[in-house]
């Protein structure tokens, strides 16, 4: 499998090689290299997305080395990149004639299957190859199987393939990086703790293993343990940016904002280019420290890098709301919503603030939109129903409760409040039936009736039913 580690392309030696080759192309002069050098240059052009230059170099190199399997493999990969399946098949047959044991053949054949959406066929090809492969090729094939699983969103399956790699080569850096991303999807944090503790026992200076252990503890919300594990990673490399950022996140979750700020600032100073997420983290930390001017400063820096960063507009709205600048807050909420119009949190905040400002029609509209995005959110149903109730639209409030019960099921609190609406509407028989049902489901849930409407304490029929159904 091609080695596309970008670090290979950053050395002064490679840069000089690349400059020499490109000068020869510019000057239309002849250049001759060993096969390995051609392969390296071709892989650079693949990595850089410069397929036309890769094609030109492949053609030049094959003129010099007609029967070079590595160069023919690169040509086949180029055809794959362009979706030229018939040419890939021809290239594979050519390679098989020259060297039927070429380790790249299973990759090429399996990737054709992937382009045809035949994932099972791709897996069969790679599993057959694994049974005959040496250690190095076996690891490469397992990475390919993990990638196929990721494409299909089979994250548990992907995890198992990555685990197989780590069983073969416990400190494989690429596998450690990929398994940490996978664990965010699978949430196998406890398994991750066990796995990385075992790796650390055998490889105590594995920076990535310590980092992953910190991530696992973070996922389990064990933030102090997360910081401790990350501190070992930073003891190995005190400028390891991912561990610095994660430490800041852990302190933030612990609400130790001063410490979080320290790590976010260090991460920012080490970043090779402006990073909108770090600026957002700094803004949010200053927001929690009530350093509002600094919070705005970093929000503006984040938006300069990414003008469509919706969370930043929302945070700016929260800051203006905190300062009592409600109109300015709504403007920022609106900017966030225009970027992500289905974000229930954004829509809910717009609704709540609109209600506080007396814009009741707008509040109802935005609560409804929020529920369209997140109909499983009980609190949103309650807020929409309450808005109707407090405006005197009792029938509409009941309709909201009725719909919420259809979606969320027999929630005693929702049934209690639906019965309250019916009592208010004079539909006493149905109201009594509903209240009896809710009291039998959860007797203590009736307290929400009096929290919702203090005047209900004067409603004798409600009080009598509560007393009659007392356990």
Domain range list for the chain:
273-374, 375-471
What are the CB-based long-range contacts (under 8 Å, 24+) for 398-404? 398/422, 398/425, 404/378
Burial class from Cβ neighbours inside 10 Å (0-12, 13-18, 19+) for residue 384 reads buried
Q: Helices 135-151 and 105-115 meet at what angle, rounded to 10?
A: 10
Q: CA 281 to CA 265: how far, in whole Å?
A: 10
Q: CA 428 to CA 464: how far, in whole Å?
A: 13
Q: How many CB atoms lie within 10 A of CB 239?
A: 11
Helix (H) / strand (E) containing 143: helix 135-151
Q: What angle do CA 30, 33, 35 make, to 5 degrees?
A: 135
Which residue numbers in the chain have pLDDT < 50?
A: none
Q: CA 450 to CA 433: how far, in whole Å?
A: 18
**pLDDT at position 1:** 53
For residue 110, the Cα-to-chain-centroid distance in whole angstroms is 28
**pLDDT at position 100:** 78
Count, in order, helices (H) and strands (E) of the chain.
27, 0
**pLDDT at position 10:** 82
Rg (CA), the chain: 31
**pLDDT at position 66:** 85
Owner of token pair 């707008």: 362
**Homologous superfamily in CATH for domain 375-471:** Tetratricopeptide repeat domain (1.25.40.10)
Q: CA 185 to CA 180: how far, in whole Å?
A: 9
Greatest C-alpha distance within the chain = 101
Are 443 and 471 a contacting pair, CB within 8 Å? yes
The residues near 457 (Cβ < 8 Å, ≥ 6 apart) are: 450, 463
Q: CA 187 to CA 181: how far, in whole Å?
A: 10
Looking at domain 273-374, its CATH architecture is Alpha Horseshoe (1.25)
Is the torsion defined by CA of 209, 210, 213, 218 positive or negative? negative
Are 75 and 39 a contacting pair, CB within 8 Å? no
Specify the pTM.
0.83
Q: CA 92 to CA 108: how far, in whole Å?
A: 8
What are the CB-based long-range contacts (under 8 Å, 24+) for 307-316? 308/339, 309/276, 309/280, 310/335, 310/336, 310/339, 310/340, 310/343, 310/346, 311/280, 311/336, 312/276, 312/280, 312/283, 313/339, 314/345, 314/346, 314/349, 315/280, 315/283, 315/284, 315/287
Q: Which two tokens stand for residue 302?
A: 């984040």
Are 93 and 108 a contacting pair, CB within 8 Å? no
The helix, strand and coil proportions of the chain, stated in percent and rounded to the nearest 5, come to: 80, 0, 20
Q: CA 353 to CA 360: how far, in whole Å?
A: 10
Two domains, one topology: 273-374 and 375-471: yes
Q: CA 323 to CA 267: how far, in whole Å?
A: 29
Are 192 and 212 a contacting pair, CB within 8 Å? yes
């Amino acid at each position: 499998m091609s080695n596309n580690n970008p670090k290979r392309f950053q050395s002064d030696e490679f840069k000089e090689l690349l400059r020499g080759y490109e000068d020869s192309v510019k000057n239309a002069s002849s250049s001759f290299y060993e096969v390995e050098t051609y392969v390296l240059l071709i892989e650079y052009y693949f990595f850089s997305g410069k397929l036309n230059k890769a094609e030109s170099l492949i053609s030049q190199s094959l003129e010099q080395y007609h029967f070079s399997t590595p160069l023919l493999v690169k040509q086949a990969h180029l055809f794959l990149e362009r979706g030229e399946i018939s040419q890939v098949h021809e290239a594979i047959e050519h390679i098989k004639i020259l060297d039927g044991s070429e380790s790249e053949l299973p990759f090429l054949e399996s990737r054709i299957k992937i382009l045809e959406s035949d994932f099972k066929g791709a897996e069969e090809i790679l599993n057959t190859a694994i049974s005959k492969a040496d250690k190095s090729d076996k690891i490469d094939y397992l990475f390919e199987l993990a990638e196929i699983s990721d494409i299909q969103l089979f994250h548990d399956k992907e995890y198992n393939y990555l685990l197989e790699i780590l069983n073969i080569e416990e400190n494989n850096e690429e596998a450690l990086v990929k398994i940490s991303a996978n664990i965010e999807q699978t949430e196998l944090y406890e398994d991750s703790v066990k796995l990385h503790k075992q790796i650390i026992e055998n490889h105590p200076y594995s920076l990535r293993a310590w980092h992953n252990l910190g991530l696992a503890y973070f996922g389990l919300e064990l933030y102090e343990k997360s910081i401790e594990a990350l501190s070992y990673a930073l003891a190995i490399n005190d400028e390891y940016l991912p561990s610095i950022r994660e430490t800041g996140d852990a302190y933030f979750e612990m609400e130790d904002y001063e410490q979080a700020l320290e790590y976010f600032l260090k991460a920012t100073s080490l970043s090779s280019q402006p990073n909108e997420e770090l600026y957002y983290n700094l803004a949010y930390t200053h927001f929690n420290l009530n350093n509002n001017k600094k919070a705005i400063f970093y929000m503006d820096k984040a938006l300069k890098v990414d003008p469509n960063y919706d969370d930043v507009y929302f945070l700016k709205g929260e800051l203006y709301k905190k300062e009592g600048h409600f109109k300015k807050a709504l403007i920022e909420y609106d900017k966030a919503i225009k970027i992500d119009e289905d974000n229930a949190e954004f829509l809910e905040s717009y609704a709540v603030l609109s209600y506080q400002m007396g814009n009741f029609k707008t509040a109802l509209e935005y609560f409804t939109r929020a529920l369209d995005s997140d109909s499983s959110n009980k609190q949103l149903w309650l807020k929409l129903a309450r808005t109707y109730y407090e405006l005197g639209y009792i029938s509409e409030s009941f309709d909201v409760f009725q719909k919420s019960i259809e979606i969320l099921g027999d929630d005693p609190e929702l049934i209690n409040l639906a019965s309250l609406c019916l009592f208010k509407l004079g539909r006493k028989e149905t109201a009594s039936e509903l209240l009896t049902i809710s009291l039998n489901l959860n007797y203590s849930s009736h307290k929400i009736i009096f929290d919702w409407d203090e005047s209900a304490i004067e409603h004798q029929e409600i009080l009598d039913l509560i007393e009659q159904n007392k356990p």
